[in-house]
Amino acid sequence: MLDVEKIRKDFKILGRTIWDNKSLVYLDNAATTQKPSSVINTLINYYENYNANIHRGVHKLAEEATTAYEEVRQKVKNFIGASSNEEVVFTRNTTESINLLAYSLGESFLKSGDEILLSEMEHHSNIVPWYMLRDRKGSKSIKIKYIPINKNYELDYSSLKKLINRKTKIISITHKSNVLGTVNDIKKISRIIKSSSHSPLLVVDAAQSAPHMKLSFKDLKCDFLAFSSHKMCGPTGVGVLVGKKDLFEKMSPFLGGGEMIRKVTFEGFTPNDVPWKFEAGTPNIADVIAFGSALDYLEKIGLENIYEHELKLTEYTLNKLKKFNFLKIYGPKEPDKRVGIITFSNPVVHPHDIATILDQYGVAIRAGHHCAQPLMKKLSVGATARASFYFYNTFEEIDIFIDALTKAFDYFAVGACKELKKDEREKDGNANIDGKNAKQFTTTIR
């Protein structure tokens, strides 16, 4: 059990008010989370007491900063269950981690005719870098294929089996969808790969999972795993790429410059050892060090406790949302398959309008395509609204959210809802339930 009230005291921002004295209800945690005071203090302490460039000074400050920076590598290694510090590379964010992979794997391992598998529920950051790789390799030389999702918004594992062939070189997949909340079974995917007699590399986008559940890089049996500090109580500007050491060693560097070299001559260069080979230039020292404090904080609370609390919040919210029977909720029906994220649309109020109205009540949610346009297309919806939780959210906050939602629907006249519901039923059978024909908002309102 979490003592949420006590935890909330660590987050000054959670005590602020919005507009005229509405308490902040922050439900946009999938976009970024808030930072506890320990993280903020670490930043201040670094800048006030030992700010220096790392790996290149003999003076005391440089030594302290270098030690603090490298200690965080160790913390990340333990946090994520990697085998050694060499398996941990610091980047700017998940997006950069995946770009690094797409560039470097593309240079080192891919040839014309190869295939890359993604899923239909990917964030743009796990789509666009692969398209860029394909386009760099010359049009049509590399194929990108999508593993479909099923009616329950889960990955269709049987299709995955069929899609893997000898040309498949990379499978890059999200661990948890930032729209559906669906948690994909990475172990199952690695088993499927193993039994396929082919050996594509498995890349996991853990941006939405690493902050919310206990992960082990070793147990997941993937080759690479990427996540962002800012989605797990840490500062912005720090990402992690975990990867198997032997692969890192075979891969060509991504960015070139200082730090990533062993030797530079008038003729050429020799790259540094891993992981520094992938950390060109002065890294984000302060934020990496503060990310270490975020990891300490999360471990103190316990990832299992975080998961459990979010599961309860998810169940509670899904239950409360039932009263809006015109609402279309995306994601698996079973709360434990879709922890912490609830995305919805409705035929009456557009997600932007919902978000604006909720904001007036102090409730922060996200509206839009959530950087997943292909998925939106698959769901036949232009935009959706999303509430996403973290361990500091309370049941009372969910009540405020539901209350504000009620007011938003009232505002746009519930009468119209009822009419429309009848219309929809007549037109599409139970379109609202199976969702295949989720209607666009505006055109259906007559």
Partner 1 sequence: MGMQTLMEKMQNNSLPQLDELYKEIILEHYRKPHGREPLERVDYEAEGMNPLCGDEVKLCLQLKNKKIEKIHLDGHGCSISVASGSMLADMLRGKTISEAKEISKLLKDMMHNKSTEVKPDLGDLEALEGVKKFPVRIKCALLPWTTFEEALAGHEHIEIS
Ligand X SMILES: Cc1ncc(COP(=O)(O)O)c(C=O)c1O
Kindly list the residues in this chain that would bind partner 1 in the complex (CB under 8 A).
19, 349-353, 356-357, 360, 367-369, 373, 376, 382-383, 407, 410-413, 416, 440-443, 445-446
Q: Is 95 in the site for ligand X (CB under 6 A)?
A: yes
**Side-chain-side CA neighbours of residue 161 (13 Å):** 7
CB of 416 to partner 1, least distance (A): 7
Exactly one of 42, 125, 190, 432 binds ligand X (CB under 6 A); that residue is 125
DSSP character string of 231-290? GTTS-TT-EEEEE-HHHHHHSPPSS-SSSSEEEE-SS-EEEPPTTGGG--SS--HHHHHH
When the beta carbons of 339 and 420 are compared against ligand X, the nearer one is 339
In angstroms, what is the minimal distance from the CB of 432 to ligand X? Answer: 27
Distance CA 352, CA 371 (A): 15
Question: What's the min distance (Å) between Cβ of 216 and ligand X?
Answer: 19
Given the complex with partner 1, which of 92 and 350 has the nearer CB atom? 350
Q: How far is the CB of 442 from partner 1 (least distance, A)?
A: 5
Compare residues 236 and 305 and give the one whose CB is closer to ligand X. Answer: 236
38 binds, among partner 1, ligand X, none (CB under 5 to 8 A by kind): none
Q: Amino acid identity of 134?
A: R
Q: What angle do CA 309, 149, 332 make, to 5 degrees?
A: 30
| CA quadruple 38, 46, 299, 155: dihedral sign | positive
Give phi and psi for 17, each to the nearest 5.
-110, 160
233 tagged catalytic: no
- Let me know: does 174 contact 121? Beta carbons within 8 Å: yes
Nearer to ligand X, 207 or 385 (CB): 207
Are 382 and 369 in contact by the 8 Å Cβ rule? The answer is: yes
> 238 vs 417, which CB is nearer to ligand X?
238
d(CA 313, CA 393): 8
Among 205, 223, 259, 310, binds ligand X (CB under 6 A): 205
DSSP strands (E only) in 157-233: 168-174, 201-205, 224-228
Q: Report the C-alpha dihedral over residues 213, 154, 189, 340, rounded to 10 degrees.
A: -10
Q: Does 384 interact with ligand X (rule: CB under 6 A)?
A: no
From 62-70, 92-100, 255-263, 279-287, span contacting ligand X (CB under 6 A): 92-100
Rule CB under 6 A: say whether 343 interacts with ligand X. no
Q: Give the per-residue contact string, 163-192, with ligand X (x = CB under 6 A; - = no).
A: -----------x---x--------------
Q: Minimal CA–CA distance to 225: which of 204, 207, 239, 250?
A: 204
Amino acid code (one letter) for 344: F
Looking at beta carbons only, is 217 or 441 nearer to partner 1? 441
Does position 120 interact with ligand X (CB under 6 A)? The reply is no
Nearest distance from C-beta of residue 15 to partner 1, angstroms: 22
Residue 207 or 354 with smaller CB distance to partner 1: 354
With beta carbons less than 8 A apart as the criterion, state whether 159 and 192 touch.
no
- Partner interacting with residue 178 (select from partner 1, ligand X, none; CB below 5-8 Å by kind): ligand X
94: contact with ligand X by CB under 6 A: yes
- CA dist 171 and 181 (Å) reads 20
Assigned token pair, 3: 């003592």
The distance of closest approach from Cβ of residue 385 to partner 1 in the complex, given in angstroms and rounded to an integer, is: 11
Q: Choose from partner 1, ligand X, none: what does 376 bind? Cβ within 5-8 Å by kind.
A: partner 1
- Residue 188 Cα distances to 79, 195, 305, angstroms: 22, 11, 24
Question: In the complex, what is the shortest distance from the CB of residue 441 to partner 1, in angstroms, rounded to a whole number?
Answer: 6
Q: How far is CA 38 from CA 11, 15, 61, 301, 408, in A?
A: 9, 16, 21, 13, 37
Collapsed DSSP state (helix, strand, coil) of residue 446: coil
Minimum CB distance to ligand X, residue 250 (Å): 25
| C-beta of 33 vs 174, nearer to ligand X | 174
In the set 222, 233, 371, 417, the catalytic residue is 371
Contacts of 68 (CB under 8 A, 6+ apart): 46, 50, 289, 292
The residue type found at 339 is: V
Which x/- pattern over 207-246 shows residues binding ligand X (rule: CB under 6 A)?
Answer: xx-------------------x------------------
Residue 123 binds what, of partner 1, ligand X, none (CB under 5 to 8 Å, by partner type)? ligand X
Choose from partner 1, ligand X, none: what does 139 bind? Cβ within 5-8 Å by kind: none
Using CB distances below 5 to 8 A depending on partner kind, what does residue 293 bind out of partner 1, ligand X, none?
Answer: none
Half-sphere exposure of 329 (CA within 13 A, CB side): 21
Could you list the active site residues? 371
Q: Which residues bind ligand X (CB under 6 A)?
A: 30, 93-95, 123, 125-126, 174, 178, 205, 207-208, 228, 371
